[in-house]
Amino acid sequence: MNQQLISEVTNEYQLRYKGGHVLISSPGRINIIGEHTDYNDGFALPAAIDMGIVAALGKSEDALCSAYAINMNEVYKFSTETIKPISGGSWRNYIIGVVAELQHIGISVPPFNLVFAGDIPNGAGLSSSAALENSIVFGLNELFNLQLPKSEMILISQRAEHNYAGVRCGIMDQYASMFGQESHALLLDCRIHEARPIKIDFQDYQLVLINTNVSHNLVEAEYNDRREVCEKVTSILKVNALRDANERQLQSIKSEITEADYQKALYIIQENERVLKAVKMIEQNDLLALGAILFDAHNGASNQFKISCPELDFLVDQARIHKDAIGARMMGGGFGGCTINIVKKDAVDNYLEDVSQAYFNKFNKRCSPYVVSLSKGTCVSQN
């Protein structure tokens, strides 16, 4: 994690609250492949990255909790006895949501002070919300010796997202942020909430993210809509989740659903297959085949599941025609955010210059590139 960020949070905590505190680093995540499969009990291949949230938490001598968000320069004070979702509450809902979900399982949370900051770009689809939720539940667990296992902490973070942020997310974001391993992705089975670490040797290639800088204004409503479609088709198929269905079964009910819903369900079934195929290619060190799978996944996300946008499609098309890229796709919930690209290491600067200029020429706005590495998950940090 960014050492400057760690120092900034530590110094700000001492200025505001003084006294002892725990310091937590919680990473954002990328998803190499497996989009919208998590809430269908399917498979995904996420990884923690070296960008995230740093949070300092200490016991409060006051009756109220106090939280300071450095990036927004905003303070929020609240009582743990009167918690309810805040309309338009932004980052505040993630914090009080975690506290409320701890209370829901019978854990009393004493007043605490919090300072946090992050280097995850807003709207990039790198799961800053999961990183923040995990930093809070992990920090409270350390501060008050709650003795919760990580497997329980991620469920608390997820329920905070559901009940306070209003996004019915699957478990992938919280899991990857909590359990990430350096130089590894996680083959996550979202049904049983267990993962197998997959070591990735990128050889002569580098992972590069390119942020469209397009707002996620539609993502919550559209995300929930996609989930409802999947649940409806699951019910008609009489299976537990789309993870249990195959293309033949889906074809058998095609007359009972709209073409749009058929394509969305088909995408999920095929995406699960792509995840498992991608893992095989990684284990065989066949990065060219992995790149081809990423391009195929983007086609499905854009044309079947309908979660892309012109800016994302343009960036992926640029990767298709550029000699230094071997794969790319949109990443995250959709309608903006980043593409993930596999680019030749010795050509990253040239690639980003070419693509950034083309993007500006097309849309008259800038995209933002980030070179990322696979990192460890949420942990106690040292100043």
Give catalytic residue positions.
173
Residue 339 falls in which region: left (phi positive, over 0), alpha (psi -120 to 50) or beta:
beta
DSSP class of residue 333 equals S
Neighbours of 179 (CB within 10 A): 23
Torsion of CA 360, 28, 80, 69, to 10 degrees: -50
Q: Work out the angle between the directed axes of helices 310-321 and 287-299 (0-180°, nearest 10).
A: 150
Cβ contact 82:37 at 8 Å: no
Residue by residue, DSSP assigns 75-122 as: EEEE-TTS----TT-THHHHHHHHHHHHHHTT-----EEEEEEE-SPT
Structure tokens at 29: 């995540």
Evaluate the CA torsion angle 272, 276, 282, 285 in order and state its sign.
negative
Q: Work out the angle between the directed axes of helices 172-179 and 128-143 (0-180°, nearest 10).
A: 60
- Using CA atoms, how far residue 20 sits from 5, 13, 28, 113, 134, in Å, is 18, 10, 26, 11, 20
Cβ contact 116:97 at 8 Å: no
Apex CA 276: angle with CA 36 and CA 288, to 5°? 100
